[in-house]
Amino acid sequence: MVKKSGVISAIGAISRNNMLGLAGWLPWDIPEELAYFEQTVAGGALLIGRLTYESMEVVPEDSFIVSRQRDLVLRPGCKRVDSVVQGLVQASATGKPVFVIGGASIYAAAWPYCQRFLLTRIEGIFAGDTLFPESIPLAQWSVVSEIKKTYLEKKTGQAVLCRFLQYEQAAPLALPDL
């Protein structure tokens, strides 16, 4: 996939029952889906919610962590931002493609500014505690590509269909001058 600077994309994966997370991590164990995520965001500037940030083993440089905690201590290469919009403005200023990687509250606030949503639909039902926000009107976006792959889900030992979808939003909001 071509990585265009200036483009703001959201990226995430959800199950058929709209789950995003379980106990601070993903509800499923599908290494190939995780590898797709890592390859896609490599070289980008990331916007990350504080809980998602804390769940990640490796956080690349030019990561912007959304948190209200002014005294938050972060790993090298990471910067705290007060709000999603502030994070999007600062991530865009790096000149790199911007990826909004969640969690739920970050997707919910960032989607109006996103040109693309790279969403993997994992066609299984999984237990979880974090839902994909219902407020994101993806049904009104265009699906511009879809790739289907079947992988082994390692917790259940079952094969699961993964649909790698790229949605595009016709008229995303412009970022404000902060």
In terms of Cβ atoms closer than 10 Å to its own Cβ (0-12, 13-18, 19+), residue 90 is middle
Q: Could you say whether residue 5 binds ligand NAP (CB under 6 A)?
A: no
Stretch that binds ligand NAP, among 17-25, 39-47, 144-152, 163-171 (CB under 6 A): 17-25
Q: Yes or no: say if 53 and 152 are a contact pair by the CB < 8 Å rule.
A: no
Q: Could you say whether residue 10 binds ligand NAP (CB under 6 A)?
A: no
Question: Using CB under 6 A, which of 57, 69, 71, 170 touches ligand NAP?
Answer: 69
- For ligand NAP, give the closer residue by CB, 13 or 160: 13
Q: Could you say whether residue 9 binds ligand NAP (CB under 6 A)?
A: no
Q: Please name the residue that has the structure tokens 């499923």.
A: 28
Cα-flanking dihedrals φ and ψ of residue 161, to 5°? -80, 130
Beta carbon of residue 94, minimum distance to ligand NAP (angstroms, whole number): 20
- For ligand NAP, give the closer residue by CB, 134 or 170: 134
Concatenated DSSP letters for 104-173?
HHHHHHHGGG-SEEEEEEE-S----SEEPPTT--GGGSEEEEEEEEEEEETTTTEEEEEEEEEEE-SSPP
Stretch that binds ligand NAP, among 65-73, 110-118, 148-156, 162-170 (CB under 6 A): 65-73
Q: Could you say whether residue 40 binds ligand NAP (CB under 6 A)?
A: no
Q: How many residues bind ligand NAP (CB under 6 A)?
A: 26
Beta carbon of residue 135, minimum distance to ligand NAP (angstroms, whole number): 13
- For ligand NAP, give the closer residue by CB, 69 or 135: 69
In terms of Cβ atoms closer than 10 Å to its own Cβ (0-12, 13-18, 19+), residue 7 is middle
- For ligand NAP, give the closer residue by CB, 115 or 130: 130
**What is the rounded CA–CA span in Å between residue 2 and residue 177?**
27
**What is the rounded CA–CA span in Å between residue 158 and residue 2?**
32
| Contacting residues toward ligand NAP, per CB under 6 A | 12-13, 20-21, 24-26, 49-52, 55, 66-69, 83-84, 101-106, 109, 130
